[in-house]
Structure 1
Amino acid sequence: MAERKPIESWLTDMDGVLIHEGVPIPGADAFIKKLRESGRPFLVLTNNSIYTPRDLHARLARMGLDVPVENIWTSALATAKFLDDQRPRGTAYVIGEAGLTTALHDIGYVLTDHDPDYVVLGETRTYSFEAMTKAVRLINAGARFICTNPDETGPSTEGPLPATGAVAALITKATGKEPYFAGKPNPLMMRTGLNAIGAHSESSAMIGDRMDTDVLAGLEAGMETILVLTGLTTPEQIERYPFRPSSVVDSIADLVDRI
């Protein structure tokens, strides 16, 4: 590996790195505490667009992880930033929860099913056939197709469940139109996040538990990448990818002393 600058800013995924199925991963509290004490810029990222940063702050606080609202970056916020840059104060038909609708309202978007500029698909636990049919018809009528993230499955206590990417594939099959994904592994999410905290990729690190989203996004954004083994990726699976993380550690606890 080429010599990199010292890490001045930290970005970390949430599920599989800091928490797992609603329970903090050992060492996560010490990692966040040391980050806050150090004064270094940091972000906790998630491809899940269901919750607002305020919701996530409260959820993490109940688990003993004190992450300020301004240090949380979601695929919903990345999507809203992208749309605000592309077509300010536009219109959208949205399939998603409060995290996504709030982010779009905050940039001045009007949510409508009447000739919208965009169909925006996010995470929800209540995908309806009626909503998907409406999305298909609007896209066929000319609306542009945007998706918060490409994750095909998500975690639950009962096992994997279909996620945004799987529903996007259904809509693509029905329309022939591929969506633009704003969340990881799109480096756009990383770059807008870095800009939000005034950080630079060459002195930043991305911590994640997935090769196909976290590590790939960090790599393409020019960051140091660290894979933890507390989530979805096993050591054997790493070798199947044509790219590698900068380093692999057992868990977030192994990184506390690097801050």
Structure 2
Amino acid sequence: MKAYKAYFIDLDGTMYRGKEAIPEAKEFIRQLQENQAPYLFVTNNSSRTRMKTVENLKKHGIEAKEEQVLTPSIAAANYIKQNDPHATVYFIGEKGVEDALRSEGVELTTKNPDYVVVGIDRHNSYKKIKDACLHIQNGAKFLATNPDIRVPTEEGFVPGNGAYVNLIKEVTKTEPIIVGKPDRLMIDVALKELNVEPSDAIMVGDNYETDIKAGIRAGLDTLHVQTGVTSKEDLKDVEVQPTYSLATLAEWQVNV
């Protein structure tokens, strides 16, 4: 196994499944810390703030700092601010999306927005989706934090943000700008934060369609773990294989 200068690590399905810990994850992070290997948690979960993400990791016995967390909500806010500093935004999402937008000074509105941002919202409603569809049809740009159709939990798979994004896409006939994985934007941000080249980093995740594809598109080696969405059998049907595919993170040896 190659020595990597940076690890980018997914959360849901890789570090834990809903409220259920993945036992091998804690030891994997301990190895990274022991070997002083730099890493970032690169998650498609837009609902949590950095602080809440750190608190959730601690519940599973994993220590982390806020600056080690990169979410699609943060990437979405940065994208809007960089491309249109005075844009107004209508959003569907939870605290993570709202806080990220407000922290960048983005003006939030329910009338004639320049952008519609869609993140996971477990209190979603017909009205929110209807308003989003109407705003997009009236000219607002459609931005999605992530395209995950389903999310693994301790109870089983549940609808992810992509389920709502696809609904809005079908109604409006408008392709969204995807900020989270599998788009490479978050990976590019992560590379910049740790100041490493793609050839020196590896993307670790359970979902081939998001985690692994993001790594491939950004030119990284990839480590697929069979503890979440994509099974070993599912990989038989993909054109580009991950660099590594392991049953659990217990099979991985950290080299520096």
Normalising by structure 2, we get a TM-score of 0.94
Which residue of the partner structure matches residue 228 of structure 1? 225
2:143 counterpart SS class: strand
Which residue, out of 59, 62, 65, partners 1:65? 62
Range with bigger deviation, 32-41 or 236-245:
32-41
1:155 counterpart SS class: strand
For the aligned residue pairs, the C-alpha RMSD in angstroms reads 1.6
In structure 1, give the amino acid aligned to 2:79: F
2:252 counterpart SS class: helix
**Counterparts of 1:41 and 1:35 in 2: how far apart (Å)?**
7
Q: Is the 8 A contact 2:152 2:229 kept in 1?
A: no
**Residues 1:33 and 2:23 aligned together:** no
Which residue of the partner structure matches residue 121 of structure 1? 118
2:237 counterpart SS class: coil
Range with bigger deviation, 11-20 or 51-60:
11-20
**Counterparts of 1:158 and 1:33 in 2: how far apart (Å)?**
27
Equivalent pairs counted in the alignment come to 256
Deviations 1:187-246 (A, max 9, x none): 111111221222221100011111111111101101110111111222211110111001
**Residues 1:152 and 2:149 aligned together:** yes
- Report % sequence identity: 34
Structure 2 unaligned spans of 5+ = none
**Residues 1:90 and 2:87 aligned together:** yes
Normalising by structure 1, we get a TM-score of 0.93
User: Counterparts in 2 of 1:176-215, with a 5 A limit?
Assistant: 176-215=173-212
Detail structure 1 runs of 4+ shifted over 3 Å in the superposition.
256-259
In structure 1, give the amino acid aligned to 2:92: I
Which residue of the partner structure matches residue 140 of structure 2? 143
Q: Is the 8 A contact 1:92 1:112 kept in 2?
A: yes
Structure 1 unaligned spans of 5+ = none
In structure 2, give the amino acid aligned to 1:220: R
**Counterparts of 1:28 and 1:175 in 2: how far apart (Å)?**
40
CA shift, 1:89, in A, is 4.0
**Counterparts of 1:42 and 1:14 in 2: how far apart (Å)?**
13
Q: Is the 8 A contact 1:16 1:232 kept in 2?
A: yes
**Counterparts of 1:132 and 1:233 in 2: how far apart (Å)?**
29
